[in-house]
Amino acid sequence: MDAGEVATLPASVESLVVVHNVAKRHNVGTMARSATAFGVSEIVLVGRRDFNAFGSHGSTSHLRFRHFHSLSQARHYLKEERNCDICGVEITDGALSIADHPFRKSTAFLLGNEGTGLSAKECEICDFFVYIPQYGCGTASLNVTVAASIVLHHFGVWAGFPERSREGNKFTVAEKPVKQIRRNYCASSVESIVEERKSRKQSASIDIFEENGTNDSKLTNLLEALFDD
């Protein structure tokens, strides 16, 4: 895309990264380092709330993290609240080359498991797919963190993100914000807490019915006693 096309983009174009089913948890830390380098606004964790910051070199302090229990919840947030396209990074039928910059607006990138790639459920929430062209014959795919770096860099070029200033042979790093949450842990939002309690109530309901045959009124009273604030 040339400079004239970049000028027509929405003023608030953003990139986000969705982390789900990444087998090697330390890859999240390395991915976070690339995310800060290439202007990512937020990392969305799906499933587990904790993460391994190994390889991040402190970059997680400069990122926003958000947690959801399921892919459907994450998709609703990204589509309805952030107005994002969801882009799966995977070699699929119809996948577009990342070199063509096939973006329209703010985009959330979902990368697959290191061994198996994107699952069917992950593919279902994606609006489109991109792949990274390879020119050598020695490997079938790239490490997930390497793939993330390439994709995020391409998006930053397309979006026209301003280049960071440099000092000597490195880019300048902002001062770390005041730490307000537990390290390597995505704090619960109000919505996340509500959803988790609903899930716990539902699980408790099933267990009680199966094991004790409790009737509806007794079950309701018991659940309220267990989970009432």
Residue 8: how many other CB atoms lie within 10 Å: 7
pLDDT of residue 9: 52
What span, in angstroms and rounded, lies between the C-alpha atoms of 17 and 161?
16
b/e per residue 80-116 (b: at least 16 CB within 10 A): eebebbbbbbbeeeebeebeeebbeebbbbbbbebee
- Is 116 strand, coil or helix? coil
Q: Give the pLDDT of the chain (229 residues) as one tens digit per residue.
A: 443 343 345 558 999 999 987 656 667 878 888 899 999 999 999 987 666 555 555 666 668 889 999 999 999 999 999 999 999 999 999 999 999 999 999 999 998 787 788 999 999 999 999 999 999 999 998 988 999 999 999 999 999 999 999 999 989 887 776 454 545 555 555 455 555 556 555 545 444 444 455 455 554 554 455 455 4
pLDDT at 4: 39
